[in-house]
Structure 1
Amino acid sequence: MDWLSDHLAAVWLGLAVAFGIAEMFSLDLVMGMLALGALVGLVSALLGAGFAVSAILAAVASVACIAVIRPPLVKRLHGGPELSLGHGKLVGQQGRVTERVTAIESGRVKLAGEIWSAKPYDETLVIEPGETVEVLEIRGATAYVHPVPSLEP
Structure 2
Amino acid sequence: MDLGWLWWLGAALVLGVVEMLTVDLLFLMLAGGAVAAAFAGLLGAPLWLEILVAALVSVLLLFGVRPWALAKLKSTTPDAKTGVDAQIGRPATVVADVSDRAGRVKLSGEVWTARIERTGVVLPAGTDVVVVRIEGATAYVAQPETPADPSQPYGPATQGF
What is the TM-score of this pair, normalised by structure 2?
0.55
Gaps of 5+ in 2: 20-25, 149-161
| 2:130 corresponds to | 134
CA distance in 2, matches of 1:151, 1:83: 25
Percent sequence identity is 25
Matched, 1:16 2:8: yes
Matched residue type, 1:119: R
CA distance in 2: counterparts of 1:16 and 1:108, whole angstroms = 62
Deviations 1:73-98 (A, max 9, x none): 6x96xx8855633x454333220122
CA-CA distance at 1:134 after TM superposition: 1.6
Amino acid across the alignment from 2:11: F
Q: Which has the larger radius of gyration?
A: 1
Change in CA separation of 1:67 and 1:124 when aligned onto 2, cut-off 3 Å: farther
Q: CA deviation at 1:114?
A: 1.7
Q: Give the alignment of 1:4-153 within 5 angstroms.
A: 13-14=5-6, 16-20=8-12, 23=15, 29=27, 31-39=30-38, 41=40, 45=43, 59-70=55-66, 72=69, 84-85=82-83, 87-104=84-101, 106-151=102-147
Q: CA RMSD in A?
A: 4.1
Q: Which residue identity does 2:92 align to in structure 1?
A: G
Q: Is the 8 A contact 1:33 1:62 kept in 2?
A: yes
Aligned length: 134
TM-score by length of 1: 0.57
